[in-house]
Structure 1
């Protein structure tokens, strides 16, 4: 057993063969080196396990589910398998900037009062081309209280903090908060970020340190309506909680702006589909009969 690392980067994998190698390489290329990668293979039927085993690095630890778990159960299990006090979950098709851990670990180690450190991210297509650069954290840069973050999230009507790849959090807080919630499957990340902020403050970094892939077969692309409904429920839940002190004006703005957030997501999915079809047509034209 290797010494306990400072950070666990966990990657839950289910049929992720298309982008998995690129994702793993983006983690291994970090300038900050004191981390482990926990890869939890969720009974995939493709070549995911072979791809995982093609990497020979002592920081990689491979675990496998004997039977297929639901996404919330799988994500909870991969955190349970982590050994470090700081956690980052990276989906098997997303990417990290080489300095992601370097920029995020320092503030967390320097300030025990921080519960969540988040960075901006690029939105990329299936060829890793940037669709929308430097997205997220509007009005959330610097240190923010849970009340400030909750009010901003409600007013935004979507997810201004971002997906797991752009966020670093504490393992102890994760379990104290109850982990990923199955009844919020399509906003599990945003729901967790808000619950973690009951244990400390939020830090938003101005740097772009991750990339979220908009792919045709991704959970986000295939469940856009469910994402919209879950976000609406979360907004109302935050509004009813006395802890977050969400005001009536915040709720009113969130209800109005939620459809705009949905339209932005739909536009991103459409651009990604267009780029993928264009790429396929180009490859077909180049290949000999």
Structure 2
């Protein structure tokens, strides 16, 4: 049995899947299998993946397109290893990623979540660091994060492609919600990090591709099912979680305004404690759709030039 099962959901990523696979196959730590879940790609993704020959790779095919959450769940259920690491088909790992995750597991065997930080990849090979709260954490050091929500109320400490989980966590908090097709990772992170501490390696071992084809993160929520973020009991127990969720409500409320989803916008806004938002975030929520759209386009333009502007 391999030590890791690497789960790669695959849907229309023909320009990226080979680099993703190669980044796994050159890992310093080699005790792993790769489970590619083909979610009925309509481009040449599967053909491109098949060009990479390795006995470590096996495929699971959906008979119909089910989405990212279902693809991850299919991978988890088909994983031979106790530890599952996720890699989106347009992201990449540095060669030491799995080795550092293994070091975390050895250091914190009682935990269920293990992750490193990441770097963001933009067109024209532009690389930027994320806006995460880790300035007090030394680079290339391991930590047990007991206050994940306090540290992730801007950009998260990790992304799905830098996360590894012991399969026992899915037995305790459930799998990815297959009804959710936007921000499904936020919903899972709330449940998972409320159950387990996070074993964290403060090293940027994962490349997160921004603006790839078919990427819902940058395309808005039109036609998408979003989480309702109703965790009343957990919020009462943990003020840091309340602040974390209010930030995510703020993010989704802006998306709802841009998509003219007025009922959901109102629901999110009414659930926010405005003390948990910055002055600029409160102002942005009150702005009309036209201004928000202009700001979004401006931010994307500046990002492509290497200038990162946020309201965090």
Could you say which TM-score interval applies, normalised by the shorter chain? 0.7 to 0.9
Q: What secondary structure sits across from 1:197 in the alignment?
A: helix
Is 1:163 the equivalent of 2:159? yes
Structure 1 residues 149 and 266, CA gap change in structure 2 (3 angstroms): farther
The aligned counterpart of 1:82 is: 79
Q: 1:88 deviation in Å? A: 1.2
- Using CA pairs under 8 Å that are at least 6 residues apart, name the structure with larger relative contact order, 1 or 2: 1
C-alpha separation between the residues in 1 aligned to 2:232 and 2:156?
15
Q: 1:182 deviation in Å? A: 3.7
Q: Is the 8 A contact 1:118 1:205 kept in 2?
A: yes
When structure 1 is superposed on structure 2, of 55-64 and 216-225 the one drifting more is 216-225
Unaligned 5+ segments in structure 1 are 276-289
Q: 1:253 deviation in Å? A: 4.9
C-alpha separation between the residues in 1 aligned to 2:34 and 2:131?
26
What TM-score, normalized to structure 2? 0.72
**TM-superposition CA deviations, 1:78-103 (whole Å, max 9, x none):** 22111111111111101111101111
Task: Spell out the pairing of 1:207-246 with structure 2 (5 A cutoff).
Answer: 207-217=203-213, 218-223=215-220, 234=229, 237=231, 241-246=235-240
C-alpha separation between the residues in 1 aligned to 2:136 and 2:170?
21
Q: 1:16 deviation in Å? A: 0.9
The aligned counterpart of 1:70 is: 67
Q: 1:216 deviation in Å? A: 5.0
Q: What secondary structure sits across from 2:201 in the alignment?
A: strand
Number of equivalenced pairs: 263
Structure 1 residues 226 and 136, CA gap change in structure 2 (3 angstroms): farther
C-alpha separation between the residues in 1 aligned to 2:6 and 2:241?
36
The aligned counterpart of 2:129 is: 133
Q: Is the 8 A contact 1:215 1:273 kept in 2?
A: no
What TM-score, normalized to structure 1? 0.77
Q: 1:14 deviation in Å? A: 0.5
Q: 1:162 deviation in Å? A: 2.9
Q: 1:192 deviation in Å? A: 1.8
Bigger fraction of residues in helix: 1
